[in-house]
Structure 1
């Protein structure tokens, strides 16, 4: 991607299922936490349907107040405990971020995750130093598919919507990107990515990092 004339200045990513195959970890952490709260088993699909708010808000809305603080701590303890077992560090993803930085792009993460879990994952996957801006579900009042998080990241990076793209694996990511006025890329490069069809369609559906890099280069 060297020497590309950058019509795009900012590349913003969703996190779960986009920069890392963390959805199995999220499902497991929620499932085990809730098992301790009420003994009921939740399916991956049931947990996925709750996505949008950060995990602390999901838990706050569904756990009795007297169990809230203990449940929050249990979730984060499980998330940290199972991270290395459930989430593989993918060298290709690290290289993608390095390539973007080396070619002058500003790199952001705009995720519905809470800040605490996002920072755990970025640190464990050695991505923290490769990200210029992190906007989480803990940092906004309106969650995806609302564009607030993307707008906040662009503002802090000093970029216009025309200079940005948003890369994610869910229909909500595409809706948020379109609402923010940025280019949109849907990815399907992890087995654990959100499998719901993109509707509306993003500008690109990338099933590999190479397809995305080639597309980005062609925008120069």
Structure 2
């Protein structure tokens, strides 16, 4: 039995367009003409609190609220499924592996995405923003998942599309995998030396055999 811990946005579900459109909506209203969609790519990965405290520390809570309102309203319009995700999750579950999500999103937003994908039943649980005091790249969320799953670190893989995911896994002492479909690119992820690089979700079926 192996444990696979997945980031959510940009790893299991393509939320890139949704996230960029949401940031542009919020930032254009507050800082007209100062940000482009390309600028918003760097905001994908960190928590909203981290991002908005850097942009406007005295208005972070207000901007987060506006972000969540728009993001919720347009969620299903702009998200897309990545090729092979559900089929691979189904096979991993069939093989008896434990699957969990470790995300910086709120749990209700993770649940909405999973329902869109019809994938809730594959996962033992999902860890969201409200479950931890420190988010990725701190190891706390990964360590919490390990504690719940009762699987040794050497049999655990953290999978994600951002450096936060890779570093959180490394900081927790588990193996890591980057996804080449990250909006920031495979080259970006390779800087952080993940143990594996997925070019298609189904690559996991081979990787788990070696864990």
**Band of TM-score, shorter chain:** 0.7 to 0.9
- The offset of 1:54, in angstroms, is 2.7
RMSD: 2.6
Structure 2: stretches of 5+ with no match in the other structure: none
Q: 73, 76, 84: which one pairs with 1:84?
A: 76
For these two proteins, the number of residue pairs brought into alignment is 209
The answer to whether residue 84 in structure 2 is matched with residue 99 in structure 1 is no
Q: What residue number does 2:32 align with?
A: 39
* 1:49 partner SS: helix
Q: What residue number does 1:194 align with?
A: 184
Per-residue CA shift, 1:152-188, capped at 9, x if unaligned? 1111112221221101122232111111111111111
Per-residue CA shift, 1:20-65, capped at 9, x if unaligned? 1112211111210222233344234533434555325544665586
* 1:134 partner SS: strand
* 2:176 partner SS: strand
How many Å separate the matches in 2 of 1:66 and 1:201? Answer: 36
The answer to whether residue 21 in structure 2 is matched with residue 28 in structure 1 is yes
Native 8 Å contact 2:7 2:165 kept in 1: yes
User: What TM-score do the two structures reach when normalised by structure 1?
Assistant: 0.81
How many Å separate the matches in 1 of 2:162 and 2:108? Answer: 22
Structure 1: stretches of 5+ with no match in the other structure: 1-5
How many Å separate the matches in 2 of 1:159 and 1:61? Answer: 37
Native 8 Å contact 1:25 1:79 kept in 2: yes
CA 1:73/1:120 → structure 2, altered by over 3 Å: closer, same or farther?
Answer: farther
How many Å separate the matches in 1 of 2:204 and 2:76? Answer: 27
CA 1:16/1:46 → structure 2, altered by over 3 Å: closer, same or farther?
Answer: same
How many Å separate the matches in 2 of 1:125 and 1:151? Answer: 26
Native 8 Å contact 1:170 1:198 kept in 2: no
Q: 192, 195, 198: which one pairs with 1:203?
A: 195
User: What TM-score do the two structures reach when normalised by structure 2?
Assistant: 0.84
Alignment of 1:127-146 (within 5 A): 127-146=119-138
* 2:14 partner SS: coil
Q: What residue number does 1:3 align with?
A: none
